A and B are shown apart, each in its own frame.
Chain A
Amino acid sequence: MVKSFQPTTLSEALDIRMNYDVMVFCGGSDIMIKYRSWSGTPAQFPKDVMYIGHLKELKSLDVNPSEITIGAAVSFSQFLNDERIPTMFKKPIEQIGSVAIRNIGTFAGNICHASPAGDTLPMLYALNAKVVLMSKRFRRVVAIEDFISGPGVTCLKNDEILTYIIIPNTIFSHSFYRKVGSRKANAISKVSVFAVADVVEYRLADVRIAVGSCGPIVIRLKDAEARIIGSNISESDQTVNSLLRMFDDKIVPIDDVRSTKVYRSKVALNLIETFLAKELRQ
Chain B
Amino acid sequence: MKVNFVLNQNNVSVDVEHSNRLLDVLRDLHQTSVKEGCGEGECGTCSVLLNGKLVNSCLIAIATVEGCHVTTLEGYRNTKRFEAIKKGFEVSGGVQCGFCTPGFVLAAEAILSENPDPTTAEIRKGIEGNLCRCTGYQMIIDGILAAKNIGKGLW
Contact = CB atoms under 8 A, between A and B. Distances in A.
Given A4-B1, A98-B128, A186-B129, A32 B18 contact: no
A35 to B, nearest CB: 8
Given A36-B40, A39-B39, A184 B128 contact: yes
A124 to B, nearest CB: 22
A103 B53 contact: yes
B61 A25 contact: yes
B59 interface: yes
Nearest to B17: A42
A29 interface: yes
B64 A53 contact: yes
B39 A36 contact: yes
Contacts of B56: 100-101
B149 interface: no
A42 B129 contact: no
A62 to B, nearest CB: 22
Interface string A3-32: 010100000000000000000010011001
A231 interface: no
Contacts of B55: 100, 103-104
Interface string A70-106: 0000000100000000000000000001111101100
Contacts of A100: 41, 44, 47, 54-56, 59, 129
25 contacts: A4-B19, A25-B61, A28-B59, A28-B64, A32-B41, A32-B60, A36-B21, A41-B20, A41-B24, A42-B17, A42-B19, A42-B21, A43-B21, A45-B19, A99-B126, A99-B129, A100-B41, A100-B47, A101-B59, A103-B54, A104-B55, A104-B59, A104-B60, A186-B41, A186-B129
Interface in B39-74: 39-42, 44, 47, 50, 53-56, 58-61, 63-64, 66
A100 B126 CA distance: 9
B120 to A, nearest CB: 15
A185 interface: yes
Contact of B61 (A41, A43, A77): A43
B17 A33 contact: no
Interface in B20-40: 20-21, 24, 27, 36, 39-40
A161 B71 CA distance: 32
B58 to A, nearest CB: 7
A176 to B, nearest CB: 21
Nearest to B125: A99
B41 A77 contact: no
B95 interface: no
Contacts of A43: 19-21, 61
B85 interface: no
